[in-house]
Amino acid sequence: MAFAAVDVIRTKRDGGALTDEQIDWVVDAYTRGEVADEQMSALAMAILLRGMTPGEIARWTQAMIASGERLDLSSVPRPTVDKHSTGGVGDKITLPLTPLVASLGAAVPQLSGRGLGHTGGTLDKLESIPGWRAALSNDEFIAQLRDVGAVICQAGEGLAPADRKLYALRDVTGTVEAIPLIASSIMSKKIAEGTSALVLDVKVGSGAFMKDEKDARRLAETMVELGKAHGVTTVALLTDMNTPLGRAVGNGLEVAESLEVLAGGGPDDVVELTVALAREMLTAVGIDADPAAALRDGRAMDSWRAMIRAQGGDPEAPLAQPHAHEVVRASQAGFVSHVDAMGIGLAAWRLGAGRARKEDPVSAAAGVLLRVQPGDRVEAGDVLCDLYADDDRRISAGRADAERAFTLADAPSARTALVMDRVA
């Protein structure tokens, strides 16, 4: 059955619910090019402003899945479980988490993306490692899952192509924040990927897409219900993203910090969240194991090296070094009361660690290394952070955002719990 795109747009514009047939048609027609970008832009804006019912979101997600192939992971002998983060600043958790969970007996099929704006991309970080490649065929993907138990790569062209096209459109039309479209975008790819279980890390705060806890909770609940409806065991954690995760923000810098975690060290907050998510992933597939012990005894590091080698990378190769370096110093004495995640993310972006458009290159060496955390006492002249870039002009571009990100006070302030809540 064919519809007129303008009638579908009007239905949602006027607050109506789209029928299953309308949703199936418009997603398929847009994927094939029959519905123009400007028409889908109008519909996406109407969805942002008017919302969708749970039934509409479920059908929209199903239509996105049906636009392409669905991977069959039945030949993988281990139980499969994946994790998805809604994105943040310094969020390198996928890097230590994937090999950690694999080292304890699960298979982790991690399809990841690239960074845009102030949020970092897992693939950009891993491409800091010489030789590592993000593109795998479906056969390579499944073989690595069987042999190594851990894969981090980009989604294939055939997986939810409707989402790939709509995601790019949303980014340039001010509709990224539409909860129905965020939920269906994430879940269509994860369900099509074929995993049996999924743990969601839904970020809340200044450095996240969801600034408000109420909106983040609604997104988490929507995605959990979508997962369950498609037979995927799904749970979500709401986690704080007002402050950057860890101390490193930038591609190669975050790889180096992830290696510290895999070696049994690293910043407390990165370890805490890695272990918390690992426990959720293992529980979801019925594995009783201690992830903290696997970080201490080297099993997770062994799994990391195997994963990197399997994708052509050299886990022993040195990471790229920056050509320009400056520090930001405290102008007065006091306690660090806040380190703004958005400000640090923007600074790293201006230094060259991120991109403004999808086709922009990123620097492996650029970024911000934090020297202080909320609660720390500093004296005037103490170093608050290091700025790294490939040229001096980038340093001056990122300095102002970095300086504004630090707030000093006369007394220390309590920090928000990292894991704020659990939705299941």
Active site residues: 84, 163, 170, 185, 189
The amino acid sitting at 47 is: I
Nearest CA-CA partner of 263 in 130, 125, 96: 96
3-state secondary structure string, the chain?
Answer: CCCCHHHHHHHHHCCCCCCHHHHHHHHHHHHHCCCCHHHHHHHHHHHHHHCCCHHHHHHHHHHHHHCCECCCCCCCCCCEEEEEECCCCCCCCHHHHHHHHHCCCCEEEEEECCCECCECCHHHHHCCCCCCCCCCCHHHHHHHHHHCCEEEEECCCCECHHHHHHHHHHHCCCCCCCHHHHHHHHHHHHHHHCCCEEEEEEEECCCCCCCCHHHHHHHHHHHHHHHHHCCCEEEEEEEECCCCCCCEECHHHHHHHHHHHHCCCCCHHHHHHHHHHHHHHHHHCCCCCCHHHHHHCCHHHHHHHHHHHHCCCCCCCCCCCCCEEEEEECCCCEEEEEECHHHHHHHHHHHHHCCCCCCCCCCCCCEEEECCCCCCEECCCCEEEEEEECCHHHHHHHHHHHHHCEEEECCCCCCCCCEEEEEC
Please give the C-alpha separations between residue 11 and each of 53, 182, 265, 279, in angstroms, as whole numbers.
Answer: 13, 21, 55, 44
Higher pLDDT, 365 or 361: 365
Strands 248-249, 383-389: pairing kind: unpaired
- Band the pLDDT of 291: cuts 50, 70, 90: very high
The pLDDT, as a whole number, for residue 114 is 83
- Say what the pTM is: 0.94
**Helical axes 20-32 vs 54-66, angle rounded to 10°:** 40
Note the CATH number of domain 5-51: 1.20.970.10
Q: Output the average pLDDT for the chain.
A: 95
100 touches 291 (CB < 8 A): yes
pLDDT above 70 covers a percentage of the chain that reads: 99
Q: Return the minimum-mean-pLDDT range out of 168-172, 221-225, 298-302, 410-414.
A: 168-172
Question: Over the stretch 61-72, which tens digit does the pLDDT of each residue have?
Answer: 999 999 999 999
Q: Which residues contact 366 (CB under 8 A, 6 or more apart)?
A: 250, 251, 322, 348, 351, 352, 353, 388, 389, 390, 394
Q: What's the rounded mean pLDDT across residues 321-325?
A: 96
Instruction: Report domain extents, the chain.
Output: 5-51, 81-157+171-310, 324-409
Mean pLDDT of 342-351: 96
C-alpha–C-alpha distance, residues 16 and 350, integer Å: 42
User: Looking at this protein, which amino acid is placed at residue 314?
Assistant: D
Q: For residue range 122-151, what is the model confidence (pLDDT) as tens digits?
A: 999 999 999 999 999 999 999 999 999 999
Query: Does the pLDDT value for residue 204 go beyond 80?
Result: yes
pLDDT (0 to 100) of residue 164: 87
Residue % of the chain over a pLDDT of 90: 90
What's the length of the chain? 424
With bands split at pLDDT 50, 70 and 90, how would you rate the model's confidence at 205? very high
Per-residue confidence band for 172, with pLDDT thresholds at 50, 70 and 90: confident
348 close to 232: Cβ distance less than 8 angstroms: no
The pLDDT, as a whole number, for residue 113 is: 85
Q: What is the average pLDDT across 76-102? A: 96
Asked if residues 365 and 391 have their Cβ atoms less than 8 Å apart, the reply is no
Give 413's pLDDT tier (boundaries 50, 70, 90).
confident
Work out the pLDDT band at 41, boundaries 50, 70, 90: very high
Give pLDDT, residue 252.
97
Lowest mean per-residue pLDDT among 53-57, 212-216, 360-364: 360-364
Q: In CATH, what class is 324-409?
A: alpha beta
pLDDT at 202: 98
Query: What CATH code would you report for 81-157+171-310?
Result: 3.40.1030.10
Query: Which of 220-229, 230-239, 243-252, 412-421 has the weakest average pLDDT?
Result: 412-421
Q: Mean pLDDT, to the nearest integer, of 209-217? A: 93
Task: State which amino acid sits at residue 263.
Answer: A
Q: Is the pLDDT of residue 356 over 80?
A: no
Is pLDDT at 52 greater than 90 in this prediction? yes
- Residue 351: pLDDT band with limits 50, 70, 90: very high
**Tokens 């048609």 sit on residue:** 25
Residue 301 has pLDDT above 80, yes or no: yes
Amino acid type, 345: G
Over range 190-194, report the average pLDDT: 93
